[in-house]
């Protein structure tokens, strides 16, 4: 007889659930970006970009096992995430 494991037994499962929620949130913002502000499309666009880069970071840390990477590799990855997040966000704001 097999028993089912609890769904959030590991941190990876919790991250997967968070990534799923973040995907639904960005999908909702992309489809219905009426946030009650005059420039709601800009706020929705920036929010979607930030959610996407947070998701990239969590996928790399938890599913590509960069959490336990050496310090140099980890800091290079974090720097890459910041640069790749800031560049399109600034370009979006300037466009």
Rounded to whole angstroms, how far apart are CA atoms 81 and 60?
A: 10
Rounded to whole angstroms, how far apart are CA atoms 44 and 26?
A: 8
Whether 8 maps to a domain, the answer reads: no
Judge if pTM exceeds 0.85: no
Joined together, the tokens standing for residue 92 give: 């979006």
Residue 7: predicted pLDDT: 64
Summarised one tens digit per residue, pLDDT across range 8-52 is: 678 888 899 999 999 999 988 887 656 566 677 888 888 899 999
Helices (H) and strands (E) in the chain, counts: 3, 0
Q: Please, which pLDDT band fits residue 87 given cuts at 50, 70 and 90?
A: very high
Whether 4 maps to a domain, the answer reads: no
> In which domain, by residue range, is 28 found?
14-94
Helix, strand, coil % (nearest 5) of the chain?
Answer: 75, 0, 25
Q: Please, which pLDDT band fits residue 1 given cuts at 50, 70 and 90?
A: low
Whether 40 maps to a domain, the answer reads: yes
Whether 85 maps to a domain, the answer reads: yes
70 vs 37, residue with greater confidence: 70
Residue 34: predicted pLDDT: 61
Q: Specify the number of domains making up the chain.
A: 1
Rounded to whole angstroms, how far apart are CA atoms 30 and 7?
A: 29
Whether 6 maps to a domain, the answer reads: no
């Amino acid at each position: 007889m097999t028993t089912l494991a609890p769904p959030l037994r590991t941190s990876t499962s919790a991250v997967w659930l968070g990534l799923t929620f973040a995907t639904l949130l960005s999908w909702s913002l992309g489809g219905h970006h009426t946030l009650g502000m005059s420039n709601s499309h800009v706020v929705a666009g920036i929010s979607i970009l930030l959610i996407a880069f947070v998701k990239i970071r969590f996928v790399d840390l938890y599913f590509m096992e960069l959490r336990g990477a050496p310090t140099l590799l980890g800091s290079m990855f974090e720097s890459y995430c910041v640069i790749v997040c800031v560049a399109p966000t600034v370009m979006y704001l300037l466009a």
